[in-house]
């Protein structure tokens, strides 16, 4: 049964990403009928348990609008990333599994993450900041004694 699911998934991916036989070429642009075959939503079940761990939502033009991810495969979404014109503009994560976002992800105009802000202790206030360069963490600041002031600095 698992082999059949894997085979079906492979065939679906092949059809989805190989383009259909009616795909446009450089010399022959897509017709209106061909353009209508853009996904509105893609669900991916990475562990084959019947529950999608990744959901991608697209607009009418085929541009991504939102991605939702369940990183620990517990059936609950842990991360949401929102897009405008196909570029990431903001994101949220639920790291403590309480169903509410406790980390905000901030992106630059190109959709590359530049900072995260987290409420690590659950008191409703940001107490951890991580800064990124080219999508890679370069430094972090923390308020470990909950006085509202940074008291710990990390450089990566």
Report pLDDT digits (tens) over 3-34: 434 434 443 433 344 344 334 445 556 566 55
Which residue bears the tokens 């517990």? 74
Encode pLDDT of 32-70 as tens digits.
655 567 889 999 999 999 999 999 999 999 999 999 999
- Cβ pair 102, 95 in contact under 8 A: yes
Average pLDDT estimate for 62-91: 95
Query: Looking at residue 51, what DSSP letter applies?
Result: S
Residue 129: predicted pLDDT = 97
Q: Walk across the sheet containing 113-118 and list its strands.
A: 41-44, 54-58, 64-69, 79-84, 87-93, 103-107, 113-118, 128-133, 136-142, 152-155
Residue 98: predicted pLDDT = 87
Encode pLDDT of 104-134 as tens digits.
999 999 999 999 999 998 899 999 999 999 9
Beta bridge partners of 141: 129, 153
């Amino acid at each position: 049964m698992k082999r059949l699911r894997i085979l079906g998934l492979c065939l679906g991916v092949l059809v989805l990403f190989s383009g259909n036989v009616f795909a446009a070429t450089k010399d022959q642009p897509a017709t209106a009928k061909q353009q209508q075959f853009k996904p509105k939503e893609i669900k991916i079940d990475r562990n084959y348990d019947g529950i999608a761990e990744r959901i991608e939502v697209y607009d009418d033009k085929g541009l991504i609008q939102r991605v939702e991810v369940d990183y620990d495969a517990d059936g609950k979404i842990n991360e949401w990333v929102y897009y405008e014109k196909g570029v990431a503009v903001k994101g949220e994560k639920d790291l403590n599994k309480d169903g509410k976002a406790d980390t905000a992800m901030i992106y630059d105009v190109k959709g590359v993450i530049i900072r995260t802000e987290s409420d690590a202790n659950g008191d409703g206030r940001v107490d951890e900041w991580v800064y990124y360069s080219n999508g890679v963490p370069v430094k972090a600041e923390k308020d470990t004694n909950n006085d509202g002031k940074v008291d710990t600095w990390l450089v990566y």
